[in-house]
Chain A
Amino acid sequence: MATIQLRQVAKQFGAIYAVKPVDLTINDGEFVALLGPSGCGKTTTLRMIAGLETVTSGTILLNNLDVTHLRGRERDIAMVFQLFALYPQMTVRQNIAFPLEAQRTPHAEINTRIDEVIRMLEIGHLQNLRPRALSGGDRQRVALARALIRRPAAFLMDEPLGALDAEFRETMRAEIKRLHILQHATTVYVTHDQIEAMAMGDRIVVMSAAVVQQIGTPADVYHYPANLFVARFIGSPGMNLLTGQIVGEAIVLTGGGSFPLTDRWRALLERANLPEQRVILGFRPEAARVDPQGPIPGTVYADDLHGAYTMLHLALGDNTTIVHARASRETNYPIDTALRFDLDPAMVRFFHPATEQAIVE
Chain B
Amino acid sequence: MADIALRQISKRFGQIAALNDMSFEVHDGEFFVLLGPSGAGKTTTLRVIAGLERQDSGSVAFDKQSVDQLGPPERDVAFVFQQYSLYPTMTVFDNLAFPLRAPGRHMDEAAIKQRVGDAAEKLRISHLLERKTGRLSGGEMQRVSIGRAIVREPRVFLMDEPLSNLDFKLRESLRVELKHLQKTRHSTTLFVTHDQIEALTMADRIAVLNKGQLIQIGTPKDIYDRPTSAFVAQLVGTPRMNMLPASRAEGQIHITETPITLPIPELDSILPASFTLGVRPEDVQPHPDGPFNGKVALIEPLGVETIVHINTGKQTLVSTVAGIANLQIGNDVRFDIVRERLHMFDSNGDRVTI
- Cβ contacts under 8 Å, A313 to chain B: 176, 180
Q: How far is the CA of A180 from the CA of B201 in the complex (A)?
A: 34
B324 at the interface (CB under 8 A from A): yes
Does chain A have a CB within 8 A of B351? no
Are A234 and B303 also in contact (CB < 8 A) when A37-B167, A304-B200 are? yes
> Number of A residues contacting the other chain (C-beta, 8 Å)?
40
Of A181, A232, A285, the contact of B304 (CB 8 Å cutoff): A285
Given A167-B240, A174-B309, are A307 and B224 also a contact pair (CB < 8 Å)?
Answer: yes
User: Contacts of A308 on B, CB cut-off 8 Å?
Assistant: 237, 280-282, 320
Is residue A301 contacting chain B, with contact meaning CB distance below 8 A?
yes
Is B221 in the interface zone, CB < 8 Å from A? Answer: yes
Interface assignment of A132: CB less than 8 Å from any CB of chain B:
no
- Bound-complex Cα distance A170 to B300 (A): 11
Question: Is residue B78 within 8 Å, beta carbon to beta carbon, of the partner chain?
Answer: no
* B115 touches A (CB below 8 Å): no
Tell me the count of chain B residues lying within 8 A, CB to CB, of chain A: 42
* B307 CB within 8 Å of chain A: yes
B349 interface residue (CB < 8 Å to A): no
For the complex, give the distance between the alpha carbons of A326 and B201 in Å: 13
The answer, yes or no, to whether B262 is at the interface (CB within 8 Å) is no
If the complex has contacts A170-B238, A335-B183, are A200 and B220 also in contact, measured as CB distance less than 8 A? no
Cα-based distance from A297 to B298 in the complex (angstroms): 41
CA distance A307 to B226 in the complex (A): 12
Measured in the bound complex, the distance between the Cα atoms of B305 and A199 in whole Å is 10
Q: Are A306 and B300 in contact (CB under 8 A)?
A: no
A305 touching B184, Cβ below 8 Å: no
Interface locus among A83-91, A94-102, A235-243, A254-262: A235-243
B329 contacts A by Cβ under 8 Å: yes
Number of A-B contacts (CB under 8 A): 99
Find chain B residues with CB under 8 A from A235 CB.
Answer: 303-304
Bound Cα distance from A107 to B64, whole angstroms: 74
Contact of A284 among B237, B280, B303 (CB under 8 A): B303
A66 at the interface (CB under 8 A from B): no
Which of chain B's residues 170-198 have a Cβ closer than 8 Å to chain A?
172-173, 175-176, 179-180, 183-184, 195, 197
A170 touches B240 (CB 8 A): yes
Nearest CB to that of A308 among chain B residues?
A: B282
Give the docked Cα–Cα distance between A223 and B304 (Å): 9
Verify A307–B304 contact, CB threshold 8 A. no
Contact of A311 among B168, B201, B300 (CB under 8 A): B201
Distance from A149 Cβ to chain B, minimum over Cβ atoms (Å): 22
Contact present for B303 and A198 (CB under 8 Å): yes
Interchain CB contact under 8 A, A302 and B172: no
A238-B169, A305-B224 as given contacts; A170 in contact with B239, CB under 8 Å: yes
Residues of A within 8 A of B (CB): 37, 166-167, 170, 173-174, 177-178, 181, 193, 195, 198-200, 218-219, 222-223, 232-238, 284-286, 301-302, 304-308, 311, 313, 322, 326, 335
A-B contact pairs, 16 of them (CB 8 A): A166-B238, A167-B234, A198-B301, A199-B302, A218-B301, A222-B324, A223-B324, A234-B303, A237-B172, A302-B180, A305-B201, A305-B221, A306-B197, A308-B282, A313-B176, A335-B184
